[in-house]
Amino acid sequence: MRRVLGAVTALPLLLAGVVSCGPAGEEPWDVEVAVGGLAPGPLEPRRDHSLVWTGAEVLVWGGHGASQHAPFPDGAAYSPAADTWRPVAASGLEPRTRHSTVVVGERVLIWGGFTPTHSGGPDAHLARDGALYDPGSDSWEPVARAPEGRSLARGVAVDGRVVLGGGFSQRGGSDFLVYSPEEDSWHTVPLAGGDEGFTVYDIAVLDDTAVAVGSFDARRAVPVEGSAAGGSVAAEDSGTFVTVFGADDAVAPVRLLSGLAEAGEASVFTGLAVSPEGRALLALRGEESASLYEIGAGGRAKLVDRLDSAGFRPPVSSLTHPLLSGEMDFVDGLGLVATAPGEVGLWDPEAGRSRRLQVEALSGHCGPLVPAADGVLFGWGGLGCGSAGIRVDIGA
């Protein structure tokens, strides 16, 4: 996780008690959780908005209220050091919701999403445009239009470029979209074998490459890296796949993962994160168990830890994807931290222990949470919540 720049002031403590669930018979894991409120912000309540940590501030932009067809065009930035908000300059973009937000260098890319205006073309209400926001100058720069519009795409910054994958597309494509801020240009990186039958769930950064995980429709047989003669795989070998590729690669090689205990279940939660040591970790949770795998450079998966309890919940659901996605990251001293509305999940793979944290103040927050400093998360937004903004401090 990125560290907070400057000191973080103490916030009013709302509740320090913890209700935590772990595997039966497991030694108790003493975790301290403090939940505090943020200063009131200048924005109306909303959902499906941007919530991103820039390195010094929490940026909120866009989203919608009661109707998705009436999104907001405004934003604001919260400073933890001062416990204050500042309005964000007008972006020049059409109001939108369920857009993608990625920090790249010193700027933030706002791209895509659902707009109230129909394009008249195959993208319908999905936007192909976006803009780069500079927090230092409080200014925006429009970017070139992408090859297609999407909403809820997940994105990362890879070697100075933005790589976007997954989400919802009217065209049904699952190519990765790559934007270069230096050249103000886009290109696509297709998955090997074509884009039909693939669903990208999550994406992370490993060194100068992107690592993505998703599912494959067993009704199709496609070329797969390392497959048998003929370059295709049988339907029974289909299921979960990973891909590791660079932003300039012509194609993203697909490797199907076999032997995953949870992969064949009807409801699976998935998440990717990279440890401080540079290990790409894939978390899968089914109905009865959760497993953690390390993804190697060639896309192979090695089991790291398995929990009999399904108390840890990665952020992306195979049933509701791309909706209801949270965040998962790695924190020194805590291990994996996964967020969802109303809860935080912890998994320490070194000790083989997990915790599902639920406190009264956290359960009243129905908006997203974003990691900032080690053990510190910020949340803002959600409709029908008792508190619009919260800060969560977690200590082992």
pLDDT, average across residues 50-77: 96
Residue 279 has pLDDT above 50, yes or no: yes
Question: pLDDT band at residue 220, thresholds of 50, 70 and 90?
Answer: low
Token pair recorded at residue 322: 């791309």
Q: Dihedral, CA atoms, 33, 37, 42, 43, nearest 10 degrees? A: 50
pLDDT of residue 229: 28
Q: Hey, what are 138's tokens? A: 């409080």
Quick one: pLDDT band at residue 239, thresholds 50, 70, 90?
Answer: confident
Q: Which residue has the tokens 């390392």?
A: 226
Enumerate helices (H) and strands (E) in the chain, giving the number of each: 1, 31
Structure tokens at 362: 């956290």
Burial letters for 228-240: b for 16+ Cβ neighbours within 10 Å, e otherwise? eeeeebeeeebbb
Contact between 211 and 242 (Cβ < 8 Å): yes
Q: How far apart are CA 236 and CA 395, in angstroms?
A: 44
Across residues 91-104, what is the average pLDDT? Answer: 98
Contact 77, 388 (CB under 8 A): no
Question: How large a percentage of the chain has pLDDT more than 90?
Answer: 59
pLDDT for 269 beyond 60: yes
Q: What is the DSSP letter of 44?
A: -
- Computed over every residue of the chain, the mean pLDDT equals 85
pLDDT of res. 258:
79
Rounded Cα distance, 243 and 202, in Å: 11
363: exposed, middle or buried (Cβ count in 10 Å: 0-12, 13-18, 19+)? middle
Per the listing, tokens 């910054």 go with 157
Report pLDDT for 277: 87
Euclidean distance between CA atoms 368 and 396, whole angstroms: 23
What would the pLDDT profile of 282-311 be if each residue is shown by its tens digit? 999 998 889 999 988 777 889 999 988 767
Confidence band for 7, pLDDT divided at 50, 70 and 90: very low
What distance in Å separates the CA atoms of residue 79 and residue 94, rounded to the nearest whole number? 26
Residue with tokens 């908005």: 49
Among 163-172, 188-197, 216-225, name the one with the lowest average pLDDT.
216-225
pLDDT at position 218:
59
